[in-house]
């Protein structure tokens, strides 16, 4: 590495230029770091902290402009600095500003004729109008907003379908298009498996498991959670499947959703049966009828994410025998069972990801009758987020009742912190399961921010003479900004049991509190 | 006989900071300190004053011209300008001060009834620019306001960003249409050697305004330091340590990228807000009054800091404080959007400073209400 510095005495360049130059300079061949700033004492202190403060730079004053480039080689240094200085004097080409703020989608579409996708995230009351404007301008749409009226969703999706455009959402939180991550998304390997998902964290989980099983994702298209309802009819899911079918980079088509309305399931399964590519279907918690509908078409309907991801990578050519399938650790399960008292019979799930909550809940339901949740479809098992937990309870803390007026739990742990302490005080609770979602847009240190509360919860149980098992799942990859390994290490350091997948979270939780046939 | 020069171009001064207008009665020579397309700084015995084009908002020690830009007016740094008979001769321009509308930066008469921080933070998510006091990564889910705690830089939990986050590349780069082939595309068009240089540079500018760290690890470090030190200022004031506040201000001043370094912008936002809220926030004003900013930062920034101590900042900052003081928090979003349009990250950094001072203010309010409850028992 070579560091080159230039001081320009009493040189004033406006902030817009100065800061965009720092960004642009990263693109200069051979440059690993570049910095253009005023030579104030504090900026010099930061440079010193980075080991970049030379004697020459020490002499720079607050009115002097300091230019620094760090290059890989000596040879790169001089041309890189010359290029940086050139950037400083270059003005934007006529008619093209580096930064343009457009007031309307229509004007943005006109000003950026090469743009082909709009992200809409305004208040739900206005979102349909903006999405319509984007479609009218010929743009594909990712509609992040929720609370969009159902009739608007149907109209938008029909209009997009007729125009040959994607209408992802409303309430579409994630997508990966041509390697570009939108919304909450994990950094996964690019590959040949395309996903169409009607559930945000379900899609994230699939993409992450595929990555873990050495596969890669070609596209991840979101549809919004209501797409497979009877009234919407799976318009976007079917268009998404068509897009993946036509995508030469996609060799395997995966769909993931909660169980669709029966008529829509039939339509989606019919479309998949006609696909020229291998297909994998994951309808979480699907009942016998849906599974039978798939079987009738020669399609296996997976009800868990991990087997679905495995099927996808195998269809893409992976050899399952060479993969780490993360089997359950039965000795550990036995050890935990032995530590729990007889009355510690219940699971409490506190989830940031809705689909992760769903999957754990469905797995518990396979084994226990009374599993309550704020997202249960069965009204008899549905409880409000304000209610005290009952028996096995799984809460999706990303639901509106928890997020109203506060950030989503993927960002702010406070709602979960409060609930964790509450659950820990219940002497009938044996295990508390939690997810920690990594990726773009998520909390910078999701595990770390929960650790003080976990320690407190444990201490309260211990004061009562109880062991409290805490089970944690980190949804993420080794390439995510937060780093999977360091987050998992924090779980380990804090004595939290690590589940390696959403599926394993549900399986481990239900096994920990199993007391044998009663 | 010397050739007569070109006739000066007469330009009306549209508005002027009332504090500055009073200073310009005596004739004198000024030095052109620095020149930008939309603003020129002049140096006189009383410090810097700014002459700006009409698309620049009112600000302390600034006059706004009835003219769109200052390019091509023969104005060169280091040369002289003259103030004579309420006219300033500047390059080829002759600026008439009389008749200009006086602008007086006003602060709301009362503190906010409701906590405006969630609304400000949410608006920053939508309009804020990264690279200065805002981190290069991390975002919030749109539609859910940040909690007051999240808006608290002192807690290290301040995470607004452009929302929803768009990562890795320009989504405009590749076509995606159902029923047609999904085109292949690199994750980052900037990596595509076939792209023109201008497209590549435009793309990197786009990235600077979205999610990528705008200037790499070093810029990240500076940005992080700005947030941490702003947090130090607030923590020290919360703890009632005047010397601690002063030390933290000194360590924040001059820190960061930009002609007005980000730390200074945040400090200006905090100081103007402090002048409004007073109480515990008065510690910021008192401590800043003991700091000699001239040796710590650029002259432009030091001038802004001096004005901020007196409760004066750019007009959009005052508009935000007015919106924050009102009961109608819907006014906050457009106010933050207008503020964020200043400079590159300057406006965003000013808003971050506002949040910091508000945090100090609401901590004090919360502490006193807690004491009240205890006293009632």
pLDDT band at residue A401, thresholds of 50, 70 and 90?
confident
- Give the torsion sign (CA, B300, B302, B308, B312): negative
Cβ of residue A106 closer than 8 Å to a chain B Cβ = no
pLDDT score, position A177: 94
CB contact under 8 A, A123 and B143: yes
pLDDT score, position A285: 87
pLDDT band at residue A102, thresholds of 50, 70 and 90?
confident
Q: What is the mean pLDDT of chain B?
A: 76
pLDDT band at residue A273, thresholds of 50, 70 and 90?
very high
pLDDT band at residue B196, thresholds of 50, 70 and 90?
very low
pLDDT score, position B161: 31
Q: What's the rounded Cα separation, in Å, for the pair B103 and B20?
A: 10
CB contact under 8 A, B204 and A23: yes
CA A411 to chain centre: 11
Whether the per-residue pLDDT at A298 is higher than 90: the answer is yes
pLDDT, tens digit (0-9, with 9 covering 90-100), for A199-208: 999 999 999 9
Nearest to B343 among A16, A122, A404 (CB): A16
| CB contacts, 8 Å: B202 with chain A | 96, 98
- pLDDT, greater one: A375 or A22: A375
pLDDT, tens digit (0-9, with 9 covering 90-100), for B249-280: 999 999 987 788 999 999 999 999 999 999 89
Whether the per-residue pLDDT at A460 is higher than 80: the answer is yes
pLDDT score, position A406: 63
pLDDT score, position B216: 63
Whether the per-residue pLDDT at B128 is higher than 90: the answer is no
pLDDT score, position B4: 52
Structure token digits, residue A318: 């992976």
CA A121 to chain centre: 17
Residue B368 zone, left/alpha/beta (φ > 0; ψ -120 to 50; rest): alpha
Question: Could you count the other beta carbons within 10 Å of the beta carbon of residue B373?
Answer: 8
As a whole number of Å, the CA-based R_g of chain B is 23
Q: What's the rounded Cα separation, in Å, for the pair A431 and A336?
A: 9
Question: Could you count the other beta carbons within 10 Å of the beta carbon of residue A393?
Answer: 27
Whether the per-residue pLDDT at A470 is higher than 70: the answer is yes
pLDDT, tens digit (0-9, with 9 covering 90-100), for B49-94: 999 998 899 999 999 998 877 877 889 988 999 999 899 999 999 9
pLDDT score, position B221: 79
Q: What's the rounded Cα separation, in Å, for the pair A358 and A251?
A: 28
Cβ of residue B79 closer than 8 Å to a chain A Cβ = no
Nearest to B255 among A42, A180, A408 (CB): A42
Count how many pairs of residues, chain A against chain B, have C-beta atoms within 8 Å: 316
Q: What is the mean pLDDT of residues A3-19?
A: 79
User: Do A394 and A347 touch, CB atoms closer than 8 A?
Assistant: yes
Nearest to A19 among B217, B218, B258 (CB): B258
Cβ of residue B346 closer than 8 Å to a chain A Cβ = yes
Burial B69-103 (b: 16+ CB within 10 A, else e): ebeebebeeeeebebeebbbebbebebbbeebeeb
Mutate one of A13, A37, A167, A219 to test the B interface: name it (highest B CB count within 10 A).
A37
Q: What's the rounded Cα separation, in Å, for the pair B221 and A468?
A: 40
């Amino acid at each position: 590495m070579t560091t080159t510095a230039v001081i320009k005495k009493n040189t004033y360049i406006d902030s817009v230029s100065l800061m965009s130059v720092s960004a642009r300079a990263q693109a200069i061949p051979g440059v690993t770091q570049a910095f253009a700033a005023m030579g104030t004492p504090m900026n010099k202190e930061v440079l010193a902290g980075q080991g970049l403060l030379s004697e020459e730079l020490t002499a720079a004053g607050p009115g002097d402009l300091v230019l620094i480039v760090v290059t890989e080689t000596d040879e790169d240094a001089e041309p890189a600095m010359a290029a940086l200085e050139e950037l400083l004097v270059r003005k934007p080409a006529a008619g093209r500003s580096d930064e343009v703020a457009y007031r309307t989608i229509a004007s943005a579409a006109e000003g950026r004729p090469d743009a082909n996708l709009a992200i809409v995230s305004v208040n739900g009351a206005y979102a349909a109008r903006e999405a319509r404007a984007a479609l009218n301008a010929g743009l594909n749409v990712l509609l992040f907003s929720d609370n969009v009226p159902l009739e608007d969703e149907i109209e938008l999706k029909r209009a997009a379908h007729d125009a040959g455009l994607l209408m992802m959402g409303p309430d579409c939180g994630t997508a990966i298009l041509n390697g570009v991550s939108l919304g909450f998304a994990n950094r996964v390997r690019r590959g040949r498996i395309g996903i169409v998902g009607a559930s945000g964290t379900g899609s994230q989980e699939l993409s992450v498991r595929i990555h873990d099983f050495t596969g890669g994702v070609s596209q991840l298209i979101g549809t919004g959670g209501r797409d497979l309802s009877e009234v919407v009819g799976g318009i976007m899911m079917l268009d998404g499947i068509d897009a993946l079918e036509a995508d030469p980079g996609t060799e395997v088509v995966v769909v993931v959703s909660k169980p669709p309305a029966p008529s829509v399931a039939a339509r989606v399964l019919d479309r998949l049966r006609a696909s020229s590519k291998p297909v994998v279907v994951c309808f979480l918690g699907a009942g016998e009828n849906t599974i039978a509908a798939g079987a009738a078409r020669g399609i296996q309907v997976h009800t868990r994410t991990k087997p679905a991801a495995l099927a996808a990578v195998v269809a893409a050519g992976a050899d399952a025998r060479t993969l780490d399938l993360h089997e359950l650790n039965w000795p550990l399960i036995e050890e935990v069972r032995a530590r729990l008292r007889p009355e510690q019979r219940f699971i409490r799930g506190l989830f940031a990801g809705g689909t992760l909550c769903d999957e754990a809940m469905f797995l518990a339901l396979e084994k226990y009758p009374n599993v309550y949740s704020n997202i249960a479809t069965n009204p008899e098992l549905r409880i409000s987020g304000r209610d005290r937990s009952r028996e096995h309870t799984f809460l999706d803390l990303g639901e509106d009742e928890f997020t109203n007026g506060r950030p989503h739990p993927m960002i702010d742990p406070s709602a979960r912190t409060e609930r964790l302490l509450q659950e820990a005080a219940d002497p009938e609770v044996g295990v508390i399961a939690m997810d920690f979602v990594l990726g773009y847009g998520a909390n910078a240190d999701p595990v770390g921010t929960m650790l003080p509360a976990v320690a407190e919860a444990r201490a309260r149980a211990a004061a009562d003479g109880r062991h409290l098992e805490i089970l944690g799942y980190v949804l993420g990859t080794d390439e995510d900004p937060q780093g999977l390994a360091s987050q998992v290490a924090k779980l380990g350091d804090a004595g939290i049991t690590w589940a390696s997948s959403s599926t394993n979270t549900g399986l481990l939780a239900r096994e920990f509190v199993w007391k044998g046939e009663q | 006989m010397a050739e007569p020069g070109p006739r000066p171009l007469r330009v009306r001064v549209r508005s002027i900071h009332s504090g500055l207008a009073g200073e310009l009665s005596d004739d004198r020579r000024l030095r052109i300190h620095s020149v930008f397309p939309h603003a020129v700084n002049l140096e006189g015995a009383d410090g810097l004053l700014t002459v700006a084009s009409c698309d620049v908002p009112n600000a302390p020690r600034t006059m706004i011209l009835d003219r769109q830009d200052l390019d091509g007016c023969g104005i060169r740094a280091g040369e002289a300008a003259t103030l004579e008979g309420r006219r300033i001769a500047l390059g080829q321009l002759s600026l008439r001060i009389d008749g200009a509308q006086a602008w007086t930066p006003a602060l709301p008469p009362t503190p906010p009834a409701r906590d405006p921080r969630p609304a400000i933070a949410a608006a920053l998510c939508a309009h804020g620019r990264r690279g200065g006091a805002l981190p290069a990564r991390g975002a919030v889910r749109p539609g859910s306001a940040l909690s007051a705690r999240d808006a608290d830089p002192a807690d290290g939990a301040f995470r607004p960003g452009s929302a929803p986050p768009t990562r890795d590349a320009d989504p405009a780069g590749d076509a995606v249409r159902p029923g047609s082939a999904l085109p292949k595309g690199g994750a980052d068009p900037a990596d595509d050697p076939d792209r023109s240089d201008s497209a590549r540079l435009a793309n990197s500018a786009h990235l600077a305004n979205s999610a990528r760290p705008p200037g790499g690890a070093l810029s990240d470090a500076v940005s992080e330091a700005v947030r941490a030190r702003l947090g130090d200022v607030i923590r020290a004031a919360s703890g009632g340590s005047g010397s601690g506040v002063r030390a933290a201000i000194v360590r924040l001043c001059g820190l960061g990228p930009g002609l007005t370094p980000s730390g200074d912008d945040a400090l200006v936002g905090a100081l103007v807000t402090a002048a409004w809220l007073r109480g515990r926030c008065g510690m910021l004003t008192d401590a800043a009054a003991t700091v000699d900013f001239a040796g710590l930062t650029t002259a432009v920034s030091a001038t802004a800091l001096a004005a901020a101590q007196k409760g004066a900042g750019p007009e959009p900052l005052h508009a935000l404080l007015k919106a924050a003081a009102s009961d109608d928090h819907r006014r906050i979003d457009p106010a933050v959007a207008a503020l964020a349009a200043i400079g590159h990250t300057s406006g965003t950094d000013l808003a971050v400073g506002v949040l910091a001072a508000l945090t100090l203010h609401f901590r004090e309010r919360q502490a006193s209400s807690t004491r009240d409850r205890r006293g009632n028992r």
